[in-house]
């Protein structure tokens, strides 16, 4: 019997130990899970060869990082660089320099660029006027290099070098600390056969940026120019309609709904590929109130064109994980709220990112409500969500002060007038006391007039304080 009891205890110990070991093993496996494992577990056929060199996912409203892997690796983004050129085009439109209906008359150089086989382009005919709207579609849907050059030249009146400097200046302004641009389209300047040649800019240099910097750029592009997705979401579109120059453009973003890797909610932004950069992907997708931005860089190798599809498998997989884990939602309503046992009044609704099925932890700091999510900001220039508040008790005390109530404004004004008179009278009495001051043999006699003046001043101050906090005293 005793032996049997000992054996039962040993078996129970082994079972319990095995159970908790399994939990710890599962936890460690999840913690160590990388983008390749996540993508394979999502059902996509891929392998180590195609694993991205860098990636990041951020929430589009707050700029908070939901996933990152080597986000500060410097990389050639290829045609994703067009997003910076488009940003400057939208900015020029906002500044009133031209409109979407403004036309750009194609030059001989533009036509020559459009005929370079090695570059991604659309058809351009010298002397024909192309609307800015259509050139934006060509840039973002077809990834047209010539359309990008035409737009850049419109912004700067054909000062090609100036546009490059504008790109770099804007990168610094937006907080893109690891980015340098040498061309407007993502294609090496030397590939344009001399038809596009920014003066003083290295023709053989590739643009350099990081996953983080491209996420920052995409954040500001969508925030400041939300219509961007109108130009990045079409699977197919015809430009120059009803003219002899009509052309059908095809989108290379295969994660758009209806294409090979169609993803629910995807509506942009831009793909890019090159011999030195491999296959890259900047994407955005929205589900309910949550919009995400992701950057995937360096998928596969230029020699293996399968990377063009594989980048979407990785992008879809980390989108799935982020959408499943986090949500952007309204967390507090404008007006009265109880936060950390304090009664507060919020100036507006409070929105933020939280893990699904969790309760947010709020902080009251100075006059702001913030939230402790454990998530970092993609850039120090992009602040975490916050909302202004007032403590309800203090506000109530002020509201009870009659000077805030319309029905007793006259009494408040009258009271403050009397309080002021007391202070002024006290000052006058103190001044008069000096005229009657009598000194004897090195000593100064007590002056009742001076004492009266001080009392009048103190009374005026005390009654003013009473009026502010409680209300009129008469």
Instruction: State the binding site for substrate.
Output: 270
Could you tell me the CA-to-CA distances from 22 to 25, 26, 242 in Å, in that order? Answer: 5, 6, 66
Is-catalytic flag, 79?
yes
**Token duo for residue 383:** 């602040």
What is the Cα–Cα distance from 387 to 417, expressed in whole angstroms? 38
Q: Which of 85, 114, 120, 143 is catalytic?
A: 143
Residue among 82, 85, 114, 412 flagged as catalytic: 82
Rg of the chain in Å (alpha carbons) = 34
Establish how many alpha carbons lie within 13 A of residue 1's alpha carbon, considering only the half-sphere containing its beta carbon: 0
Dist CA 435 CA 439 (whole Å): 12
Identified catalytic residue from 79, 144, 274, 379: 79
Q: Do 147 and 122 meet the contact criterion of CB atoms below 8 Å apart? A: yes
Q: Which residue has the tokens 């030397």?
A: 190
CA 315 to chain CA centroid, Å, is 19
Please, what's the b/e burial string for 331-357 (b: 16 or more CB within 10 A of its CB; e: otherwise)? Answer: bbeeeebebeeeebbbeeebebbbeee
DSSP 73-130: --B--GGGGHHHHHHHHHHHHHTTS--TT-EEEPPHHHHHHHT-TTS------TT-EE
Inter-residue contact 46 to 37 (CB < 8 Å): no
313 with 261: CB under 8 angstroms?
yes
143 catalytically annotated: yes
Q: In this structure, are residues 453 and 428 in contact, taking their beta carbons and an 8 Å threshold?
A: yes
Q: Which residues of 413-436 are buried (b: 16+ CB within 10 A; e: fewer)?
A: eebbebbeebbebbeebbeebeee
> What are the binding residues?
270
Q: State yes or no: is 218 an active-site residue.
A: no
Give the whole-angstrom CA distance, residue 117 versus residue 473.
88
Beta strands in 347-460 (DSSP E): 350-355, 362-365, 368-371, 387-391, 439-440, 443-444
Catalytically annotated residues: 79, 82, 143
């Amino acid at each position: 019997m005793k032996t049997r009891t000992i054996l039962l205890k040993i078996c129970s110990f082994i079972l319990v130990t095995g159970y908790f070991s399994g939990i710890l093993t599962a936890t460690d496996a999840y913690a160590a899970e990388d983008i390749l494992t996540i993508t394979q577990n999502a059902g996509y056929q891929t392998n180590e060869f195609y694993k991205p060199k860098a990636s990041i996912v951020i929430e589009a409203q707050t700029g908070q990082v939901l996933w990152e892997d080597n986000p500060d690796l410097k990389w050639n983004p290829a045609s994703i660089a067009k997003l910076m050129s488009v940003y400057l085009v939208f900015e020029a439109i906002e500044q009133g320099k031209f409109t979407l209906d403004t036309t750009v008359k194609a030059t001989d150089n533009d036509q020559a660029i459009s005929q370079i086989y090695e570059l991604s382009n659309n058809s351009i005919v010298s002397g024909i006027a192309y609307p800015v709207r259509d050139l934006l579609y060509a840039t973002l849907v077809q990834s047209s290099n010539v359309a990008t050059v035409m737009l850049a030249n419109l912004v700067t009146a054909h000062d090609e070098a100036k546009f490059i400097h504008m790109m770099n200046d804007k990168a610094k302004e937006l907080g893109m600390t690891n980015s340098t641009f040498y061309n407007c389209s993502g294609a090496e300047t030397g590939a344009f056969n001399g038809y596009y040649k920014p003066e003083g800019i290295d023709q053989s240099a590739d643009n350099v940026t990081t996953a983080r910097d491209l996420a920052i750029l995409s954040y500001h592009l969508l925030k400041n120019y939300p219509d961007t997705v109108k130009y990045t979401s079409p699977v197919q579109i015809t430009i120059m309609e009803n003219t002899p120059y009509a052309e059908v453009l095809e989108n290379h973003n295969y994660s758009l709904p209806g294409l090979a890797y169609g993803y629910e909610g995807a509506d942009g932004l831009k793909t890019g590929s090159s011999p030195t950069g491999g296959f890259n992907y900047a994407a955005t997708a929205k589900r309910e109130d949550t919009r995400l931005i992701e950057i995937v860089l360096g998928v596969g190798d230029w020699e293996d064109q399968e990377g063009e599809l594989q980048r979407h498998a990785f992008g879809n997989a980390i989108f799935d994980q982020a959408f499943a884990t986090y949500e952007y939602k309204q967390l507090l309503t404008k007006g009265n709220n109880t936060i950390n046992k304090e009664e507060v009044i919020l100036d507006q609704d409070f929105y933020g990112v939280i893990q699904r099925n969790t309760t947010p932890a709020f902080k009251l700091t100075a006059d702001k409500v913030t939230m402790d999510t454990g998530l970092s900001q993609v850039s120090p220039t992009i602040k975490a969500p916050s909302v202004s508040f007032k403590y309800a008790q203090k506000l109530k005390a002020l509201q009870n002060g009659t000077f805030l109530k319309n029905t007793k404004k006259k009494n408040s004004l009258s009271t403050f007038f009397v309080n002021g008179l007391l202070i002024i009278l006290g000052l006058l009495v103190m001044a008069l006391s000096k005229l009657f001051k009598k000194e004897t043999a090195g000593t100064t006699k007590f002056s009742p007039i001076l004492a009266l003046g001080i009392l009048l001043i103190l009374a005026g101050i005390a009654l003013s304080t009473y009026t502010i906090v409680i209300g009129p005293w008469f």
